[in-house]
Structure 1
C-alpha cells in the first residue's frame, strides 16, 4: 500500500530526515518513536504534503504523492488525514462545526464562507462523535472541552474526511494518562473496525508496545529500528534514544499503573 523510498528533507545545511525507506503491505497500526528532533514530525508532514521533500518518493498504491499538485494534492490530503498534538480546532466554534471542517476539501468556497452543510453531513458528524463517546458535547464550544475530549473531536474531524490513512503527530503528548489511554483506544478501534492505516508518532515505549503492530525507531533523521513491539527491548530503546545504561523506561511511561505505583509506595511508608 505504502512505499517510502529514500525520502530526505533538508533545511539548509541540516538534514532533518535522512534517506528514510520502508514499505507497508497492508493497513496496520504503525508507531514511530524517537527523541525530539529525530525527524518524526517532519516525516509525517511530508507524507501529508504539508512539507515538501527534498528528494525521494512516497508511493501510495503505486502513485507518488510527492509529485501531486493542485486538486490532486488536495484530494490526497483528504485521503491522508492529519491529527496534531495541539488539536488545531477553532476554539470559539461549536464541536460539530469543527468536525464538519473535515469536509472542507470537497465543498465550494461559497458554502464554506456561509458555513452551510448538508443535513446528511451534520448527521454523520454527530454519529462519529457518538462513536467516540462525545456526542453530548456537539453543541458546546471546542474551548469548553477537556484536552482528551478536544483530541477526540480532532479524530472525528479526521474521520469526516473518510481517509485511507490517519497520521497522528504526538496525539497524546499533551494529555494526562487517563485521557491518553482513551485517545489511543479510539485510534486502535478505528484501525481495527474500519481497516484504516494509522501511523502515529509517539514518545513513550509502553504506548508503542501496547497499541502498535509495527514500530519504527528514528534517530537523527534515520531509521535505526524497524520491527515488532516484542523486539523493542530496553537495549534497542537505548540505541533509538541515544541513551546510556541509566536509561529508564519508567521515565517515559504513560501507564496508569506505573504512575500510580510511587503514590502507593508513599502511602505504605506513611502507614
Structure 2
C-alpha cells in the first residue's frame, strides 16, 4: 500500500513538485507521464530518498519513508530500487560485479574493498542475469554491452536488492525502439511474475497505454490526470503536454532474445 500525501519539493521560490497526492493498492504498474520539467524525476528521487521533500508524506504500509534517517533510510533504499535513464553502471567493471553492487549496503567495508562475494550471491546474480536473457554477458565489461543490454544489467542489479518497489526514471529514453520494447517487456514481466510494484517515468503515451495499469499525468509539478490507460484521450494528452504537442509514437516490435547459458569457465573461476 502506497500513499502519497501532499508531497512538495521547492527549489527556491519554484515548486518542482507541487502538493501531489495519490495512493496505490497492490503491485500495480504505474506510469508517470509528462513533459521534461514536469516533476516526474524529482518525485521518484524523493521517494527513493535521493532528494529531500519540502513537505508531505509518502507512506508505505503506513510508514512515512520521508521521515526515515540514517540506517533506516538506507534500509528503505534497498527496498525501493532505482533504475536510471543512463544506467549508472561501472563501465570498466564486469557485468556480474555490477549486478552484485545491488547488495553493497549489506556488506562490510572490508568485503567491499576486496570484492569478496559469497558463492550464494554470485549464483543468485547469475540466475537473475539468466532470467533476463543476458547471462552470457556476465564476464564482459559493462561498457562493451549495447544500451538495451546495459539497462537490463541495471534491472538485474535492482532485482539483486530483492525490492518491494522498483522505480524506473525514463528507463527507455536513450534506447532505440527495439531495445526499448525489450526493457519494457522485462519490467512488465517482473511486475506480473514477481508481484512487485513498478513506478516508471515515461515520455510517450503509446508506452503508457501498452504497459501500465494506471497512468498519472504531471504538468508543472502538479497531477493533472490520474486514471486508466484507455482514458488517455487526445484532450487529456493536451492537458498533460500542452496544446500542439505531437502524441504519435511509431510502434516497433521485437522479441526478447532467447536465454543462453553463461560462460561456465568464467563462472567457475568466480566461484572458486
Give the TM-score normalised by the residue count of structure 1: 0.92
**CA-CA distance at 1:105 after TM superposition:** 1.3
Match of 2:246 in 1: 248
Query: How far has the Cα of 1:254 moved from its partner?
Result: 4.9
- Quote the residue 1:204 is aligned against: 204
Using the TM superposition, give the Cα deviation of residue 181 of structure 1 relative to its aligned residue in structure 2, in angstroms: 0.1
| 8 Å CA contact retained: 1:204, 1:254 | no
2: CA distance, partners of 1:109 / 1:231: 50
Bigger proportion of residues as helix: 1
Aligned twin of 2:167 = 167
Moved over 3 A (4+): none
Size of the aligned set, in residue pairs, is 253
Once the two structures are superposed, residues 49-98 of structure 1 have per-residue CA deviations (whole angstroms, 9 ceiling, x without a partner) of 00000000000000000000111000000000000000000000000000
How big is the shift at 1:248?
A: 3.2
Deviations 1:231-269 (A, max 9, x none): 01111011100123xx4322xx15117xxxxxxxxxxxx
Q: Hey, what's the Cα distance between the residues in 2 that align with 1:110 and 1:243?
A: 56
Could you tell me how far apart the structure 2 residues matched to 1:30 and 1:130 are?
26
> What is residue 44 of structure 1 aligned with on the other side?
44
**Corresponding residue for residue 135 of structure 2:** 135
Q: CA RMSD in A?
A: 0.8
1:263 equivalent in structure 2: none
Q: Does 1:78 align with 2:74?
A: no
Q: Which ranges in structure 2 are unaligned for 5 or more consecutive residues?
A: 254-272
Distance 1:45 1:62 in 2: 20
Q: Indicate the SS of the match to 2:168.
A: strand
5+ residue gaps, structure 1, are 258-271
